[in-house]
């Protein structure tokens, strides 16, 4: 091995020395767990429709049940194990979002309900909310400008 | 006491590490070093309501244990040097508030314990103290909470990430004694090679460890083979390998007597740590030579 002179050399060297995450295994697990969560959502949705509810109410019920389930599993210290196994598979569906709100709430409960739970609850989910809402406003404005039909609706 | 070379202090009457104590959490108790710890805890809370309080209790009990084991009454201990990973060194300052020993709160992250030993040695050698107390603590849960994500968050740790030790170590250092002695200290420089991955701290710290080691060898005129053991604190598996290889390119062979405490404390095969970890105790940017 040649002596390392520059920062760039060192970064390349470290890159090559550091073990990579097992991407194929992670992708496979994320795929089937993510698919399973979505299938559960679909089953709930179909059942709601079967019981005669309309699409909007069925959608809401699916979200409520998945969020509730994810929050409950987080409280039981089980969701982090699922997340460790499935990665994005459990993080990308709405279950991951629920987990990212409930976990700091639990973590900071020791600092009190107002400044702890209230103040820190969105430390993980905060960026998603800020940029999600911001993006939706930008898209809304663009839609308003470029879709003449919408102007007549307004 | 005199400065030799560029950055090393040599002690004329080397201070002695009189007595040590350690308390660790359940994961460390499962590791290969379990039998060397004075006390192993069964859970991370130790009857407290928060991890921060548990960490305070761990350092408090460790210090009390070190004092009790040494047989030196706490009134005779002149100064206390302690630190931890949390903001404002909150674990050590709350943990040691009832100790009634003048307190230096220090922060050196992974090198805190050795930093404490260095400062205590200078105090003892300079005649400002006869006995000094050095301590450091860390707690996996409180450290994750402060630096990374909530524990319940369902994310994946990359293979290079490290696992913070739950535990505390304390030592009573005396001006006179029969050893083990602290004969030299070589405080290290900050060496930043531009590693931005917070989950690969071993690679980020290895260049500083190398720089300190080489400075120590140059200042003292010794070679690596002079030592029975060269230890770094928490480079982990990746950092350890990098350090050995980089030392070789600079003409120092440390392969046979070098090890890393982060590698030693957990068993990579049996325990789920995702590589090494980081522990408060022991040295990475300071080296000292203990002769028995």
Among A149-153, B3-7, B37-41, B272-276, the minimum mean pLDDT is found in: B272-276
Q: What's the alpha-carbon Rg for chain B, to the nearest Å?
A: 18
SS (H, E, C) A8-66: HHHHHHHHHHCCCCCHHHHHHHHHHHHHHHHHHHHHHHHHHHHCCCCHHHHHHHHHHHH
DSSP-derived letter for residue B96 is T
Tell me the CB-side half-sphere exposure of residue A131, using CA atoms within 13 A.
4
Cβ atoms within 10 Å, residue A59: 15
Average pLDDT value over all residues in chain A: 90
Q: A103 and B50 in contact by Cβ < 8 A? A: no
Helices then strands, each counted (H, E), chain A? 9, 0
Per-residue pLDDT, A147: 78
* Whole-number Å distance between alpha carbons of A91 and A37: 10
β-bridge partners, B105: B82
Output the pLDDT for position A151. 57
Q: Who contacts B147 (Cβ-Cβ below 8 Å, separation ≥6)?
A: B85, B198
State whether residue A136 sits within 8 Å of chain B by CB. no
Q: How many residues does chain A have?
A: 154
Instruction: Find the mean pLDDT for residues A81-92.
Output: 90
pLDDT-derived band at B265, boundaries 50, 70, 90: confident
- Confirm if B24 and B40 have CB atoms less than 8 A apart: yes
The residue ranking higher by pLDDT, B268 or A134, is A134
On the question of pLDDT at B269 being above 80, the answer is: no
How do B2-4 and B131-138 pair as beta strands? unpaired
| Higher per-residue pLDDT: B280 or B146 | B146
Q: At A146, is the pLDDT very low, low, confident or very high (cuts 50, 70, 90)? A: confident
Q: What residues of B are in contact with residue A97 (Cβ under 8 Å)? A: none
A90: closest CA of chain B, how far (Å): 8
Other C-beta atoms closer than 10 Å to the C-beta of A148 total 9
Band of the pLDDT at B199, cuts 50, 70, 90? confident
Are B258 and B244 in contact by the 8 Å Cβ rule? The answer is: yes
d(C-alpha A10, C-alpha B247), whole Å: 13
In angstroms, the CA B133 to CA B80 distance is 5
Would you place residue A150 in the very low, low, confident or very high pLDDT band (cuts 50, 70, 90)?
low
Residue with tokens 């982990």: B236
Q: Largest Cα–Cα distance of chain A, in whole Å?
A: 72
Instruction: Compute φ and ψ for B117, nearest 5 degrees.
Output: -65, -40
Least CB-CB distance to A80: which of B52, B154, B159?
Answer: B154
Residue of B86, B150, B151, B199 for testing the chain A interface, max A β-carbons within 10 Å: B150
Average pLDDT of span B183-209: 91
Angle between helices B236-249 and A7-17 (to 10 degrees): 130
- Interface residue ranges in chain B relative to chain A, Cβ cutoff 8 Å: 49-52, 145, 149-160, 193-195, 200, 203, 207, 238, 241-242, 245-246, 248-250, 275
| Contact flag A4-B155 (C-beta cutoff 8 Å) | no
CB–CB contact A21 B159 (8 Å): yes
Query: ipTM of this predicted complex?
Result: 0.81
Percentage with pLDDT > 90 across chain B: 69
DSSP per position, B176-216 = S-SS-EEEEEEEPPP-------TT-HHHHHHHHHHHHHHHH
CB contact under 8 A, B242 and A3: no
Q: In chain A, which among 22-51 make CB contacts under 8 A with chain B?
A: 26
Task: Tell me if the domain spanning B2-174 has CATH number 3.30.360.10.
Answer: no
Residue with tokens 């639990």: A106
Least confident of A1-15, A79-93, A109-123, B229-243: A1-15
Which residues from chain A sit within 8 angstroms of residue B51, using beta carbons? 110
Using left for φ > 0, alpha for ψ between -120 and 50, and beta otherwise, residue B221 falls in: left
Cβ contact B56:B95 at 8 Å: yes
Burial class (CB in 10 A: 0-12, 13-18, 19+), B35: exposed
Query: Where do the structural domains in chain B lie, given as residue ranges?
Result: 2-174, 183-291
CB A100 within 8 A of CB B129: no
Gap between the Cα atoms of A90 and A69, Å rounded: 12
Determine whether the interchain pair B152/A107 forms a contact, defined as Cβ–Cβ distance below 8 Å.
yes
pTM of the entire predicted model: 0.86
Assess whether pLDDT exceeds 80 at residue A70: yes
Find the helix or strand (DSSP H, E) in which A69 lies: helix A55-75
Q: What value does the mean pLDDT take over residues B251-257?
A: 92
Considering CB atoms only, which of B50, B149, B194 is closest to A110?
B50
Query: Which of B66, B47, B60, B61 has its CA nearest to residue B95?
Result: B60
A107 contacts chain B (CB < 8 A) = yes
Measured CA to CA in angstroms, residue B105 lies from A37, A84, B24, B81, B206 at distances of 49, 37, 21, 6, 26
Would an 8 Å CB–CB cutoff place A11 in contact with chain B? yes
Shortest Cα–Cα distance, B190 to chain A (Å): 14
Q: Mean pLDDT across the stretch B229-241? A: 90
Instruction: Give the tens place of pLDDT for each residue, B71-124.
Output: 999 999 999 999 999 999 999 999 999 999 999 999 988 899 999 999 999 999
B-chain residues within 8 Å CB-CB of A10?
193-195, 207
The span from the CA of B225 to the CA of B215, in Å, is 15
Q: Do the Cβ atoms of B104 and B81 come closer than 8 Å?
A: yes
From the centroid of its chain, how far is CA B29?
A: 18
Number of A to B CB contacts under 8 A, please give it. 100
Q: Which residues pair with B167 in a beta bridge?
A: B24, B138
Query: What pLDDT does residue B286 have?
Result: 41
Q: How far apart are CA A36 and CA A23, in angstroms?
A: 20
């Amino acid at each position: 091995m040649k002596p390392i002179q520059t920062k760039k050399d060192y970064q390349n060297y470290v890159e090559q020395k550091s073990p990579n995450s097992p991407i194929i295994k992670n992708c496979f697990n994320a795929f089937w767990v993510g698919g399973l969560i979505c299938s559960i959502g679909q089953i709930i949705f179909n059942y709601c429709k079967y019981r005669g509810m309309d699409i909007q109410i069925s959608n809401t019920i699916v979200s409520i049940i998945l969020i509730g389930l994810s929050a409950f599993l987080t409280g039981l210290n089980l969701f982090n194990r699922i997340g460790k196994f499935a990665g994005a598979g459990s993080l990308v569906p709405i279950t991951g979002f629920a987990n990212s709100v409930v976990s700091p709430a639990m973590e900071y409960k020791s600092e009190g309900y107002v400044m702890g739970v209230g103040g820190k609850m969105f430390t993980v989910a905060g960026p998603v909310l800020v940029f999600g809402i911001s993006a939706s406003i930008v898209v809304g404005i663009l839609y308003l400008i470029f879709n003449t039909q919408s102007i007549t609706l307004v | 006491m005199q400065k030799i070379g560029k950055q090393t202090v040599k002690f004329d009457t080397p201070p002695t590490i009189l007595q040590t104590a350690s308390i660790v959490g359940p994961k460390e108790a499962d590791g290969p070093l379990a039998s060397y710890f004075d006390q192993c805890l069964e859970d991370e809370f130790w009857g407290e309501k928060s991890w921060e309080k548990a960490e305070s209790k761990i350092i408090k009990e460790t210090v009390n244990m070190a004092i009790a084991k040494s047989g030196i009454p706490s009134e005779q201990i002149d100064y206390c040097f302690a630190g931890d990973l949390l903001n404002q060194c909150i674990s050590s300052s709350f943990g040691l508030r009832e100790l009634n020993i003048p307190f230096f709160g220090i922060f050196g992250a992974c090198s805190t314990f050795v930093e404490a030993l260095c400062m205590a040695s200078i105090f003892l050698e300079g005649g400002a103290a006869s006995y000094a107390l050095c301590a450091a603590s860390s707690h996996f849960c409180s450290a994750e909470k402060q630096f990374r994500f909530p524990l319940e968050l369902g994310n994946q740790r990359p293979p290079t990430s490290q696992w913070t030790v739950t535990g505390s170590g304390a030592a009573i250092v005396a001006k006179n004694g029969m050893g083990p002695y602290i004969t030299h200290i070589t405080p290290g420089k900050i060496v930043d090679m531009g590693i931005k991955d917070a989950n690969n701290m071993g690679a980020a710290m290895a260049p500083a460890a190398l720089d300190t080691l080489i400075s120590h060898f140059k200042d003292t005129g010794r070679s690596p083979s002079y030592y029975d053991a060269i230890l770094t604190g928490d480079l982990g598996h990746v950092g350890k390998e990098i350090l050995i290889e980089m030392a070789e390119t600079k003409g120092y062979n440390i392969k046979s007597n070098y090890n890393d405490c982060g590698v030693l404390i957990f068993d990579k095969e049996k325990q789920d740590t995702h590589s090494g970890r980081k522990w408060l105790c022991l040295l990475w940017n300071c080296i000292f030579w203990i002769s028995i």
